[in-house]
Amino acid sequence: MKINIETPVLIQKFMTEFSCIGSECEDDCCHGWAIPVEKKAFFNIKKLYKKASDEQQAIKDRLIRNRKAENDWSYGVISIKSDERCPLLNQDGLCDLHGKHGSNKLGWVCKDYPRIVVMSNGQVEQSMSLSCPEAARLCLLQPDSTELVEVDGSVLNELSGCFMDQGSNLDPDPYVQLRDDIRQVMQLLLGARQYDTNGRLYLLVYFAYRIDGFYHKNTTNFDIDKLSSEIERIADVNIHSKLVSDFHAQKYDPSLSISIVQTLISFRTDSSPEFNNFIKLCMGGCYNLDDEKEGALSKALLTDVISTYYQRRAEIEQRYWQRLEGYFHNYIAHYIFNKSHLNAPSLALLLRGLLILLNIVKFLFFLNPLLDPILADSDDACDKNDHEALLDKAIVQTCYLCSRSFEHISPHLMSVITQVLDEQGVDDLEHLSVLAKT
């Protein structure tokens, strides 16, 4: 099904500036994960490489029929080689298929990436995955990058036509019907810039848990009057001002964040070699992960790395707090636009996923060795422009590698972490407010 190009498309502002920078990018999007291909592209590629040379034989061998496909969009898959690279990548790190035969021969994932198209209640939306370095750069580094704007439907012309249908306000499930109303509340709270990002995160989590008892997927006790009352309540400036004040007055307990970090480190080998190496790189100044057995991290060593993290974070926040606030605001705003709560059992669980990812991103960002020169310079000797460039580079690298691992390569890592939190009973407002402080 094709979307009418006359239909306006809702996007975040940074997407208007996006275009693939190809060989100028610090990474490529063609390694680490198997690529689904639709039926038409499957047979096009098969035909084009029917008489493949010996060096192209891997392309034929790695084009595999998906016998469990539920539709034509996942008819086949291009599996990666032993070196984690797509068999279509040439020696220059560019796509052989694209270079020789044009973008019209690409499968839908390769044609659309990093773009994601969604239809909801007649509204067409296009978001982007931050697993692309250029998308992450444009999203995270510009002050107004996540503002919502409408553009002409012609932006979809070069895409495959594949989109996710998230239902409409005619759906019998109130969870789906009221999707736009709930998102407006979330946008309102996120836009309360008089509070820091942690305070706004708490308001989001607080609202989610206030409505969780009657507003969730397949609810049987939905109450529109209660929902209206809660929306009116959370929109009251006096109420959310008091909520944020009380939130910041709470004593911070780092144990939950430490549990997330410990799980990430313990199961790091389940992720891609690239992400595993990045974790080890960030830990390099603290201790050698290779000396530790999986699942048996020394408490003393874990304490050391957490202590180092908080020391580095405190110093960098003291000097560049406003810039960091910009990064994390944009990350949260992108997540809320990109990850509809309709894809989660409840709004509360969607936000728990956000808090987990944000904890991991912050942890690896502040330990990223790219920031070492900032910590080595005194305030008097520092070049602010050089430091800001390092901060920008570190947040982009951290964000796209985390997104790539959790979205594409090792999505089960999130399940592992949430299982650990479930076992610890981390499923209420009190626990989630602690994570929001991190």
pLDDT digits (tens, 9 = 90+) for 143-160: 999 999 999 888 888 888
Q: What span, in angstroms and rounded, lies between the C-alpha atoms of 21 and 352?
A: 34
In 3D space, the residue among 17, 33, 6, 26 whose CA is nearest the CA of residue 408 turns out to be 33
How many whole angstroms from its chain centre is CA 74?
Answer: 23
Give the rounded percent of residues in the chain with a pLDDT score beyond 90.
42
pLDDT at 270: 66
Given the structure tokens 């975040």, which residue do they identify?
12
Give the mean pLDDT of 36-56.
79
Q: Residue 395's pLDDT band (boundaries 50, 70, 90)? A: very high
pLDDT at 299: 66
Let me know: does 259 contact 302? Beta carbons within 8 Å.
no
Let me know: does 400 contact 130? Beta carbons within 8 Å.
yes
Give the mean pLDDT of 110-115.
91
Which stretch of DSSP H or E encloses residue 116? strand 115-120
Q: How many other CB atoms are there within 10 angstroms of residue 70's CB atom?
A: 7
Q: What span, in angstroms and rounded, lies between the C-alpha atoms of 41 and 135?
A: 25
Let me know: does 134 contact 17? Beta carbons within 8 Å.
no
Q: How many other CB atoms are there within 10 angstroms of residue 173's CB atom?
A: 15
Q: Worst-scoring range by mean pLDDT, 1-15, 106-120, 179-193, 410-424?
A: 1-15
pLDDT at 274: 83
In this structure, what token pair is assigned to residue 272?
Answer: 């891609």
Strands of the sheet with 63-65, listed across from one edge: 35-37, 76-78, 63-65
The chain-wide mean pLDDT, for the chain, equals: 86
Please report how many Cα atoms fall inside a 13 Å half-sphere around the Cα of residue 248, on the Cβ side.
11
In 3D space, the residue among 267, 277, 260, 283 whose CA is nearest the CA of residue 353 turns out to be 260
Q: What span, in angstroms and rounded, lies between the C-alpha atoms of 187 and 263?
A: 31
Q: Residue 4's pLDDT band (boundaries 50, 70, 90)? A: low
Residues 11-28 pLDDT 10s: 999 999 999 888 888 988
- Which of residues 246 and 415 earns the better pLDDT score? 246
Residues 244-267 pLDDT 10s: 999 999 887 777 788 888 788 777
| Residue 291 predicted with pLDDT over 80 | no
Q: What span, in angstroms and rounded, lies between the C-alpha atoms of 173 and 219?
A: 7
Helix, strand, or coil (residue 340): coil
Given the structure tokens 């019907």, which residue do they identify?
177
Cα dist. 280→137, 287, 312, 364 in Å?
A: 23, 9, 17, 10
Give the mean pLDDT of 285-290.
51
In this structure, what token pair is assigned to residue 9?
Answer: 């498309």
pLDDT at 290: 53
In this structure, what token pair is assigned to residue 226?
Answer: 């209660």
Residues 64-73 pLDDT 10s: 888 887 788 8
Q: What span, in angstroms and rounded, lies between the C-alpha atoms of 299 and 222?
A: 45
CA angle 133–368–129, rounded 5-degree value = 25
**Can the peptide bond before residue 143 be classed as cis, meaning omega within 30 degrees of 0?**
no
- Structural Rg of the chain based on CA atoms: 23
| Residue 204 predicted with pLDDT over 80 | yes
Q: Worst-scoring range by mean pLDDT, 65-79, 119-133, 382-396?
A: 65-79
Q: What are 63's strand-pairing partners? A: 78
pLDDT at 289: 53
